[in-house]
Amino acid sequence: MTTVHNDTPSYASNPDRNLALEIVRATEAAAIRAVPYIGRGDKLGADGAAVDAMRTFLGTVNFDGVVVIGEGEKDEAPMLFNGEHVGNGSGPRCDIAVDPIDGTSLTATGRPNAISMIAVSDRGTMLDASSVFYMEKIVTGPEGHGVVHLDQTVAENIRELARAKGKPVADIRVAVLDRPRHEGLIEEIRAAGAHTRLMLDGDVAGGINAARHDHRVDMCIGTGGSPEGVATACAIKALGGLIQGRLVPQTDGERERGLAAGLRFDHVYSADELVAGDNTLFVATGVTDGELVAGVSTDGPIVSTSSIIFRSHSGTVRRIQADHVRERWS
């Protein structure tokens, strides 16, 4: 989908379309560097190679980015750790969320839907939910506004969304991570008369697909990573879709850390609470073939990448196909 808009940024100090075109080089680099690890069973090796490449390219970008969602705390992650400054220090001041590979297990096993992604918003607008790992989430397209809600039952959400979309419940497709914790949820979806689409991993792409007008999935629901929920919100805002999240601490200690960080429990976070304002970017490049973007492919001396850029300020989605000279990545 490409919509023509006047993309001139209202403030030169904010993330704009030119920044997106610079950042896509970092996701392309991470995806390309992960290729030798596809199907090799080494997810740590794949992640390490992608982190190195992404960090190197981000260092050349004309912006002052602070990693709000990264590879973890500084002591555990030598690069792209939470709180790290990236970029060359000039240009717009931004919060960023990075995942050099969303789907390291998918990469290691050679399965589809692994991506490299970066989300960007104005400085101070991205919720730092890193102290609580899990979040219950629901994502739909624009039809879900005022219709679905995490406080409703699964059956109610499916029924109301079907009514809003003007289709029978039997035609509703719901994406869910295939995890033991979701066994009851999967049963509820099927009992309501809807179909499930079980995902092995990669709920960022799953959430985005649920909000796309040209995708057959109508809803993505379940408990996944809270950092991924915040990153997904950056793309959903460009699509006009609905995303809600509720933090799910696993231990008393995690709850205490969340409270100390100012997080709220038993509260449904809206898109604007996950990422404040309407100036977000989301950039993803395919590592392995998937429904959101195609994976990296090689043809003799050429390496080809497929990327997608979402920009909420203009409501624009752009797809970028790029060919790279293979010997320069050796």
Q: Which residues are annotated as a binding site?
A: 47, 71, 99, 102-104, 134, 179-181, 201-203, 225, 228
Q: Phi/psi of residue 266, each to 5°?
A: 55, 30
Structure tokens belonging to residue 36: 């030798």
CA distance 26 to 235: 18
- Binding-site residues for Mn(2+) sit at 47, 71, 99, 102, 228
Classify residue 119 as exposed, middle or buried by CB count within 10 Å of its CB (0-12, 13-18, 19+). Answer: buried
Classify residue 184 as exposed, middle or buried by CB count within 10 Å of its CB (0-12, 13-18, 19+). Answer: exposed
Pairing of strands 173-177, 219-225: parallel
DSSP 49-67: HHHHHHHHHHTTSSSEEEE
Pairing of strands 115-122, 281-286: antiparallel
- Binding-site residues for substrate sit at 102-104, 134, 179-181, 201-203, 225
What is the CA 30 to chain-centroid distance, rounded?
15
CA distance 96 to 150: 26
